[in-house]
Amino acid sequence: MSAQPQIPADEWRRRAAALRPRAHIFIDGKFQPSESGETFDNINPATGISLGAVAAGGEADIDRAVASARAAFRKGSWANQPPKARKKVLLKFAELMLEHREELALLETLDMGKPISDSLAVDIPSAANCIRWYGEAVDKIYDEIAPTGPGTLAMITREPMGVVGAIVPWNFPLIMASWKIGPVLACGNSLVLKPSEKSPLSALRVAELAIEAGLPEGVFNVVPGFGHTAGKALAAHMDVDCIAFTGSTATGKTVMQLAAQSNLKKVGLECGGKSPNIVMADAPDLDKAATAAAFAIFFNQGEMCSAGSRLLVEASIKDELLEKIAAVGRAMRPGDPLDPATKLGAIVDEAQMKRVLSYIDAGKTDGAKVALGGSRVRVDSGGYFVEPTVFDDVKPAMRIAREEIFGPVLATITFNDVEEAVQIANDVEYGLAAAIWTRDINVAHRTARALRAGTVYVNCYDADDITVPFGGFKQSGIGRDKSLHAFDKYTELKTTWIELS
């Protein structure tokens, strides 16, 4: 298949100006206003200008969405379909997402400021692949027969939970939503999805595509709104059987409390990170390590829970490695997200930009040295842009070395041996991801085992795919997204014990 011609920036801008995105709540297969009639402005982070008003869902809207989801589940229009029938719909759903990839990519870029080239090449294909993968997996999951005597048959079966609530973040709006949508629907559940108020547009559009693919009405509902209203109502709802959340650790704790205080619903959390990227002096390819380290923190404007935000480097190679990372960073200047040449887009909103800049100020105040960047840029655009920033001379006790910044800010810490590196790496409250660069396979294995993280990369960073689980140790969450292990969150195990005598 020949490569598609690249769409120029002016054409993307023309499409953006003409775009009229869906902006109402999606319940029971239809778009409708919120019960209160309230809306919120959806701001384009690249310009600071509103993309339009979006319905602000509240408790009453969550009640309606959950009731619709429960009615669909009880009716069995989806839950009782054989796996091969659900597979057919999910594969069609993924196909439609790819057919509308340019529209969906534009929504992602306008909503949260990421480069259109990333939205088009990474976000939409990855999201569609997730839906496709779970569609393909659903008729390949077998139940079990327990080992018993000849007079007994003991069956262990998986059953759908019922109604699942999902609260997803703004950094990868459609990918994060798909990590919930795929396994939730594949298992036969009904879903109420609350996208972030900072990036609601793609979720509303794909809900419409799901219906077009053949998903019964009521099975997939989307309620945009704020965390303290719609999110709280969903987590605390007495008729939601499971709540799945991706976002900050602080909010994850609140979701867990609400789940316990209501109906003790099942909880899955994928929360924050402060991931260490350890580079030993014997790293097999320092250029590759430097490029990976730069993309691990600058890709997606650093707005990644798994970002390699702590660079732990053996002292003897620190200066050389930082020089190489800075060279990559200088080539990733923030630009117009609608320009295909742009490699670094806008921070999602003004509040997040101010948070990132406040951490940069804290790093300076605490005595760290700015080796690259450190400032807001493109101020005249009206948007929220921060240049790639690298700190040197960072001490493990500094805030920029311990707290999640969620921006393009790298904290560099030196060590003298691998034991010290592991101690520094593990000495934070998070445990989402980590990496080790070494040509010594024994050091690689020992370090991977010693690191308290859900994913450990060896001589690479962020190189996994949908086939492996993703989630964290410690305060980085509970449970796993992706892979077959995601089915554990959205199914109940039932034992049926039959006496045959």
Q: Which residue has the tokens 């709104």?
A: 225
Q: Residue 413's closest CA among 274, 313, 320?
A: 313
Crossing angle between the packed helical segments 101-112 and 83-99, to the nearest 10 degrees:
70
SS3 210: helix
- Catalytic one among 108, 197, 208, 270? 270
Contacts for 20 with CB less than 8 Å, ≥ 6 apart: none
Active-site annotation holds for 305: yes
Concatenating the DSSP letter of every residue in 116-182 gives: HHHIIIIIHHHHHHHHHHHHHHGGG---EE----TTEEEEEEEEE-SEEEEE--SSSHHHHHHHHHH
Q: In this structure, are residues 475 and 249 in contact, taking their beta carbons and an 8 Å threshold? A: yes
The closest of 101, 118, 100 to 109, measured between CA atoms, is 118
Query: Which residues have C-beta within 8 Å of that of residue 477, sequence separation ≥ 6?
Result: 252, 268, 269, 270, 271, 432, 454, 471
Please spell the DSSP secondary structure of 319-331, one letter per residue: HHHHHHHHHHHHT
Q: Which segments within 305-418 are labelled E, that is strand?
A: 310-314, 369-372, 376-377, 385-386, 389-392, 409-415
Per the listing, tokens 């945009």 go with 224
Q: Max CA-CA distance within the chain? A: 82
Distance CA 498, CA 501 (A): 9
E-assigned strand segments in 6-140: 25-27, 30-32, 39-44, 49-55
**Do 359 and 328 contact (CB within 8 A), yes or no?**
no
| Active-site option among 187, 242, 305, 387 | 305
Amino acid at 471: G
Name 61's Cβ contacts closer than 8 Å, sequence gap at least 6: 25, 27, 34, 35, 55, 223, 225, 230
Q: Are 203 and 224 in contact (CB under 8 A)?
A: yes
Q: What angle do CA 240, 244, 247 make, to 5 degrees?
A: 135
Picking from 131, 425, 472, the residue whose alpha carbon sits closest to that of residue 273 is 472
Please state, in angstroms and as integers, the Cα–Cα distance from residue 248 to each residue in 171, 245, 303, following that order.
Answer: 12, 9, 12
Backbone angles phi, psi at 103, to 5 degrees: -65, -45
Helix/strand/coil for 367: coil
Q: Would you please indicate which residues are annotated as catalytic (active-site) residues? A: 270, 305
